[in-house]
Amino acid sequence: MYCEGCGESISPDANFCPRCGRKVQQSAEPRPPANGIPESGHHSLGTLPDSSSAMVTAQGNESGKRQSFWVSLFDWRMSDQELRRQLENYGALGWTWSYRKLSAALIWFSLALTVLFWILGYVHAEAVALDVVVYLALSFFVYRGHRWALIAAMALWTVEKGYQLAIVVSGDQSQVHNILTPIIFWAIYTGVFWKAYRVESARHKLGSRGQ
């Protein structure tokens, strides 16, 4: 059986393609990828940057897909195979598979939490207004795949979480258990931003070679 999205060979009992994550509509004959890029002979992509680790792939059921998504949030590494999949299916990947889209979604989620904390009275309106303006504008350029926006997102997020960490460390020692919260959020967000940046950098190099 073959995936109608990317042409990957899949097992008969799979619900999702292990390569592109698309819900399986099985076909007995191999089909070309939906984006028109052949499965073999990836000459158009050139030589991809070296990387380590295996690709985190979707499993043959819904629970496997969720597990792959959550594991990927804590894994900064990206294999050549995963990078190639991101490039070949750049516009077709869903929100939980495209690092560009996921980066923008994480920023929006953070803004939603900030607004919620403002409603509950935990933060000042001035701080909320500044965050909304800065991060909304940044998320637009992140979604558009601008590398500078991803660099800015990593820098701003590092400063913000570093500041929160400093407050916890220098504040009430009874709240030291909260030290993990900014660290976890920093690791998840920055890891996704970094992988999105790698994808956009690879696309930029391929575009430069094609000119």
In the listed set 66, 95, 124, which residue is the last one of a domain according to the structure? 95
- Mean pLDDT, residues 46-51 taken together: 44
Check residue 49 and report its DSSP letter: P
> Considering the entire predicted model, what is its pTM?
0.64
Domain termination residue (choose one: 35, 60, 95): 95
How high is the pLDDT of residue 173? Answer: 55
Decide which of 95, 128, 143 is a domain's last residue.
Answer: 95
Please count the structural domains in the chain: 2
Size (the chain), residues: 211
Where in the sequence is the domain holding 132, given as residue range(s)?
99-210
Q: Judge residue 95's burial from the number of C-beta atoms within 10 Å of its C-beta, 0-12 exposed, 13-18 middle, 19 or more buried.
A: exposed
| pLDDT of 51 over the 90 cut | no
Whether residues 18 and 104 share a domain: the answer is no
pLDDT of 17 reads: 77
pLDDT tens-digit map of 55-101: 333 333 333 344 455 566 667 788 888 899 999 999 899 998 899 99
